[in-house]
């Protein structure tokens, strides 16, 4: 183990104590001690309902919560903390945009372009928004390696185009999209770009201004923060114009029997009691990532993926989904093995204490488009080691033989 690996792993209690080789970071990541401590600190020393009480505890809780917003805004270089809305997860963030921006901007005959590689969370909300408003969903197809051709996008946009929904990194292929270039195309047509950053924000530095993103959604739990806290970034003038998503407490200015005035952003979109402990956990995760440094995190994850992809290419009957080049895979490598069902593959890995994900990864349109039923996915986090990747490759080599195939080159495990 390298010093970096040892040092990082020591920060993650579950990684330190578990025998599991955890390679399912695309689903959720483990949490460092500092995040767990921060959540505890919130409940042990500052818990009160933020925004509601006039007493000191509640004021403190409010300040801590709003500070988490500022830290998060700086993390993605948002111009204004009010552009950060706390949600439960990326799914809720994307539903919020599709519902509220959809209600504000979509009308019959409009078109919403959705990339075929979207997670269902950035696809189904647009299907429903289109049903409600009379707009139409148009698919933006990718090449067999999962990459998108900007010229194809130019052909799809027209005067009816209102939205492009696309991920920054695919949760299946690990392919990274040129969001800034896509944003230029959609902006020229007068539409907005809604970016699903679930698989990019945890792994590389994000600057919403460089990306020219109008909206960006991501989940805390995939970036070392607790489950139950997510983020929607939205450009302030867009958020200002949108109707609320949920109605109730804490999102109003004044209410009488006849009239209500809604609160300003971001509180307009944060109805009900907020997840202050989660927001503080997210803040701690952001601070932890910043302390380690994205230069180191991204370089480490790249090295892991490179080791994996190069090793996988050497193994007969293993087919990688997406690009040939290790650099086409940002933290994620999905694959199929000839003649072995992905659930059997992940079962064998599970028996060797290696956690992988199998299935369609909530991206059925992409699987259909690529003509694979389901795949097995390995996805790395900052605490994974090259040794773990070697273990992964050793088991991978043995799978066909374990499933009864008699190949020319047989691999057996010692």
Partner 1 sequence: MTGNTFYNEIINEHNLKPYHKRAVEGANFTLEGVNPSCGDDIVLELKVEDGIIVDGGFTGDGCAISQASADIMLDLIIGKSQEEAIRLSDIFLRMIKGSITDEEKEELEEAGILESVSHMPARVKCAVLGWRTMRELFGRTD
Ligand X SMILES: Cc1ncc(COP(=O)(O)O)c(C=O)c1O
Active site residues: 362
Q: Is residue 244 classed as helix, strand or coil in its secondary structure?
A: coil
State which residue, 155 or 343, has the beta carbon closest to partner 1.
Answer: 343
- Which one of partner 1, ligand X, none interacts with residue 198, CB within 5 to 8 A by kind? ligand X
Residue choice 295, 352, 390, 407 for contact with partner 1 (CB under 8 A): 352
CA end-to-end distance (rounded Å), the chain: 22
State which residue, 81 or 359, has the beta carbon closest to partner 1.
Answer: 359
Structure tokens at 9: 């792993």
What string of H, E and C letters represents the secondary structure of 246-312?
Answer: CCCCCCEEEECCCCEEECCCCHHHCCCCCCHHHHHHHHHHHHHHHHHCHHHHHHHHHHHHHHHHHHH
Stretch that binds partner 1, among 59-67, 70-78, 217-225, 395-403 (CB under 8 A): 395-403
Beta-carbon contacts of residue 298 (< 8 Å; ≥ 6 apart)? 203, 204, 205
- Residue 138, H or E segment: strand 136-140
Does residue 410 bind partner 1 (CB under 8 A)?
no
Residues 303-362 binding ligand X (CB under 6 A) are: 362
Q: Is residue 394 classed as helix, strand or coil in its secondary structure?
A: helix
Does residue 171 bind ligand X (CB under 6 A)?
yes
Does residue 414 bind partner 1 (CB under 8 A)?
yes
Stretch that binds ligand X, among 134-142, 196-204, 317-325, 391-399 (CB under 6 A): 196-204
State which residue, 94 or 308, has the beta carbon closest to ligand X.
Answer: 94
Contact letters for partner 1, residues 354-393 (x by CB under 8 A): -----xx------------xx-------------------
Burial class (CB in 10 A: 0-12, 13-18, 19+), 141: middle
Q: Check: CB of residue 258 under 8 Å from CB of residue 209.
A: no
Total residues contacting ligand X by CB under 6 A comes to 15
Q: Measuring CA to CA, how many Å separate 406 from each of 253, 311, 402, 411?
A: 71, 21, 9, 10
Contact letters for partner 1, residues 302-341 (x by CB under 8 A): -------------------------------------xxx
* Interacting residues toward partner 1 by CB under 8 A: 339-344, 347-348, 351-353, 359-360, 373-374, 394-395, 398, 402-405, 413-414
């Amino acid at each position: 183990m390298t010093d970096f690996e040892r040092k990082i792993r020591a920060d993650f209690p579950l990684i330190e104590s578990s025998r599991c080789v955890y390679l399912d970071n695309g689903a959720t990541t483990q949490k460092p001690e500092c995040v767990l401590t921060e959540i505890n600190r919130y409940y042990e020393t500052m818990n009160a309902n933020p925004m509601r009480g006039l007493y000191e505890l509640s004021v403190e809780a409010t300040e801590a919560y709003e500070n988490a917003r500022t830290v998060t805004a700086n993390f993605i270089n948002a111009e204004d903390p009010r552009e950060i809305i706390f949600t439960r997860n990326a799914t809720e963030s994307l539903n919020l945009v599709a519902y509220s921006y959809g209600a504000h901007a979509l009308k019959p005959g409009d078109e919403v372009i959705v990339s075929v590689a979207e997670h269902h969370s950035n696809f189904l909300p647009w299907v429903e928004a289109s049903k409600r408003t009379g707009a139409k969903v148009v698919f933006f197809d990718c090449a067999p390696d999962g990459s998108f051709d900007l010229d194809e996008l130019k052909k799809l946009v027209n005067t009816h185009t209102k939205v492009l929904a696309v991920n920054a990194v695919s949760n299946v292929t690990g392919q990274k999209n040129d969001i800034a270039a896509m944003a230029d195309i959609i902006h020229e047509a007068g539409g907005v770009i809604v970016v699903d950053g679930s698989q990019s924000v945890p792994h590389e530095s994000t600057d919403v201004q460089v990306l020219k993103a109008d909206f960006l959604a991501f989940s805390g739990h995939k970036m070392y923060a607790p489950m139950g806290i997510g983020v929607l970034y939205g450009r302030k003038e867009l958020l200002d114009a949108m109707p609320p998503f949920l109605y109730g407490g804490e999102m109003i200015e004044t209410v009488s029997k006849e009239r209500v005035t809604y609160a300003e952003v971001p509180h307009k979109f944060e109805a009900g009691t907020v997840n202050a402990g989660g927001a503080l956990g997210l803040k701690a995760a952001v601070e932890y990532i910043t302390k380690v440094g994205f230069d180191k995190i991204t370089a480490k994850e790249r090295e892991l993926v490179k080791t994996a992809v190069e090793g996988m290419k050497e193994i007969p009957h293993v087919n990688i989904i997406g690009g040939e080049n290790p650099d086409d895979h940002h933290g994620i490598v999905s694959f199929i093995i000839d003649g072995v069902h992905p659930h059997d593959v992940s079962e064998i890995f599970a028996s060797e204490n290696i956690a992988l994900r199998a299935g369609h990864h909530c991206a059925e349109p992409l699987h259909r488009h690529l003509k694979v039923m389901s795949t097995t996915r390995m996805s790395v986090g900052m605490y994974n080691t090259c040794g773990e990747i070697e273990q992964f490759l050793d088991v991978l080599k043995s799978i066909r033989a374990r499933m009864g195939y008699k190949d020319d080159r047989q691999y057996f495990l010692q």
